[in-house]
Structure 1
C-alpha cells in the first residue's frame, strides 16, 4: 500500500483515484493500474483486521475496568460511564471498518447495474432484502449508521437503506432466543414480523416521497459521482488494489471527520438516559391503557438509547407491572429503533426535513402496531 506516485508525467501518468467525498468524487479512470504486492497487501490487511478484532473484543472488559477504577461513583453513574466508554469505542471502530470495506468494494462497483436490478418490481424485493439483512446484523441504532452510510454512497436506493436502518437494531438472533424464553412464541413471532414490516413499509414510504432529495449535499455528490463510474472488467478500466485502497481510505477519512464528534456527544447523552431514566416511571404513567398512551410511549421511547438484547428484560418487567402488550412493544421497539445519539449522528447525513420524516414514520408505524396489539391482547397472553 504505497503512497501516491508523483514522479511520472506525460502519457505514462495514471489518473489518481478519488480521495474522499469532501467534494465531488473524481471518477476512477486508471488506464494502467500500478502493480501491488498482493501477498504484502493482504497480509497487512489481515494483520490490521486482527488488531481491530482484538481492540473490539477488549472494549467491554476495558470499559468495565476503567469504570471500577473511578472512586465514589453511584450505581447509576457507573452504569452511565461504562455505557459511554463501551458504545463510543464500539461505534468508532465499526465506523472505521465498515466504511473502509464498503468503500473498497464500491470502487469497482457498477452502480447502474445495482440500481437497475433494484428498480421497478424488484424494488419491493430490495425492501425485503434490506430489512432481512438488517435482521441478521447484530447492531444497535447507532452501530447501524456506518453500514447505512456505506450503502447510501454505493448508490443503493435510500428507501432500501432505510429499511435496513429501521430493522437492524430491532431484531437479532440473541433477542429472539430471549424473547422466546421469557415471553413465549406468540409475542416473539409478533415482534419479529412487526420489526420486518416496519422496515419494509418505512423504506417503501421513504421512496414514495423521494427521500433522497433531503440527504446532505456531500452524500448526494458522492452518489452522483458513483453513478458515473463505469464497470470494471475491460482492459482499460480495471481497478487495481492500490486504487481501491486510496478510494476506500479517502471515503473513510472524509466520513469519519464529519461524524466522530457527534458520535461522542450522542453516546454521552444516551449514556445519561441509560443510567438515570427508571423503567418504573413508564408503567406508572402509561399503564392505564388510554388511546394516547401508545403514541406517548413511542414518543418517550425514541430519545432513549438501548439495544434489543437489553430491552427484552425491560419488556418482561413492564408487562409484569401491568403495561398493556401493545404499549409495551411500541415503547420498546421505539427505544431500540431510534435514539437521541442516532438522531445527532443522522443529522450529519440527513437534512432536517428527512430526519423529521424518518422519526415521524417510526412514530406512526409503532403507534399503529401498539393499538393493534392492545386490541388483540387476549390472544397474545
Structure 2
C-alpha cells in the first residue's frame, strides 16, 4: 500500500484503530469483569462461566472458520479477484456480487482494494456490487453464523449479501447510463492498496500450498492471527451477551425489535450502523437478542446494515470517494438491508 493510499484509507479511522489495537479489546473485557466483581460478584462468576462455556461450544466452528481463512491466505486465492471484473458490465456485476459474498474481506479491509480497482478504471457498478456484498458474509463467517444462528439464517445472510450486491451494482449501472457518477474517487487518491498487486499481476493459486515452506509459514501466521482476533472479539461479545441476558428485560426487546411488519426491521437497520462493532462480535449478540424476542428479520437487517455501514468503514469510504458516491453507498446499503430483513421475515 502506498503512502498516499494509507493516508486516505485510514483517515478518520486512526483513533478507532488506536483504541482497539493490541490489547484494547482484552483490556475492555477485563475491566468489565473487574467492575462486575466489585459491584455484582455473583454475576461476574456467571458471566465468566458463560464466556468460557460459549467459547467451548463454538470451538468446532472456530477451528473450521480459522482453517478456511488461513487456507485462503496461504493458497493465494485472492488472485482470483483479477478475473472477476472482466467481461460485459451486466455479467461483471453478477459475478462481482457472487464473488463478494464468498471473499474473505471485512468492511474496512476491502477499502484499499476498492481504491486500487477504481484507480485502474474498473467500472464503479461492478466495484459497488463487490463492495456491498463482500463485508456481509465470507466462508468463515458462514460457518460461525451456522453455529450460532443456524444454517437457515446463514443461508439467508448469504443470499442477502449477493442480493445486496446485485441491487447496488445494477442501480449504479443505471445511474451511470444516464450520466451520473462520473469520477468516483476523491482527488489525490492514487493506485496501490492491499491486494492491488494481485489484481495487476495475477498468479496461479497454489491449492496444495503445504508443499511450499513459505506458504506453510503464511498459513501458520494467518491461523495464529485469526485465532487471537476471533477469541478476543468473541470473548467480549459473549460477555456483553451475558450482561444483556441478565439485565435487559425481555419485554424491552420484544417491544422495540419484536413483532411483525417494517418497524422492528427499520429500527434494527438504523441501530445496526452505530452499534455494530465487528462481524464476529455481532453474531452472539444477535443470537441473544433473537432468544429474547427479536424478530429474525430484524436480526438479519442489523447484521447486513452493520456489516456494510459500520462507522469505521463508513468513515474510510467517506475519505476515499466523492460525496455523491458515498451518499449512494449509504442509501443502497440501508435500502438493501431493509429489503433483506423484510423479505426474510415475510418468508418465515
1:248 aligned partner: none
- The answer to whether the Cα contact below 8 Å between 1:141 and 1:307 also exists between their aligned partners in 2 is no
Q: For 1:303, what is the secondary structure of its paired residue?
A: helix
CA distance in 1, matches of 2:336, 2:30: 43
Q: For 2:277, what is the secondary structure of its paired residue?
A: coil
RMSD, aligned CA: 4.2
Aligned mate of 1:357, from 328, 342, 346: 328
> Matched residue pairs, number?
240
CA distance in 2, matches of 1:125, 1:326: 30
1:131–1:278: structure 2 CA closer, same or farther, 3 Å change rule?
farther
2:145 aligned partner: 179
CA distance in 1, matches of 2:285, 2:32: 29
1:73–1:169: structure 2 CA closer, same or farther, 3 Å change rule?
farther
CA distance in 2, matches of 1:294, 1:129: 29
1:319–1:62: structure 2 CA closer, same or farther, 3 Å change rule?
closer
TM-score of the two chains, using structure 2 as the length reference? 0.57
Which structure has the greater CA radius of gyration?
Answer: 1
- The answer to whether the Cα contact below 8 Å between 1:297 and 1:331 also exists between their aligned partners in 2 is yes
Structure 1 moving runs of 4+ over 4 Å: 59-75, 219-222, 277-284
How far does residue 360 in structure 1 lie from its aligned partner after superposition? Answer: 1.1
CA distance in 2, matches of 1:114, 1:132: 10
- The answer to whether the Cα contact below 8 Å between 1:131 and 1:196 also exists between their aligned partners in 2 is yes
1:218–1:369: structure 2 CA closer, same or farther, 3 Å change rule?
same
Q: Does 1:331 align with 2:297?
A: no
Q: Per-residue CA shift, 1:59-86, capped at 9, x if unaligned? A: 97655677799999868xxxxxxxxxxx
Aligned mate of 2:285, from 283, 308, 314: 314
CA distance in 2, matches of 1:299, 1:170: 16
Q: For 1:203, what is the secondary structure of its paired residue?
A: helix
Aligned mate of 1:213, from 182, 186, 194: 182
CA distance in 1, matches of 2:262, 2:170: 27
Unaligned runs of 5+ in 1: 1-18, 22-58, 76-104, 106-110, 223-230, 233-274
Aligned mate of 2:166, from 174, 185, 200: 200
How far does residue 209 in structure 1 lie from its aligned partner after superposition? Answer: 0.9
2:117 aligned partner: 151
CA distance in 2, matches of 1:294, 1:65: 32
1:354–1:327: structure 2 CA closer, same or farther, 3 Å change rule?
same
1:303–1:209: structure 2 CA closer, same or farther, 3 Å change rule?
farther
1:372 aligned partner: 343
Q: For 2:121, what is the secondary structure of its paired residue?
A: coil
CA distance in 2, matches of 1:212, 1:364: 19
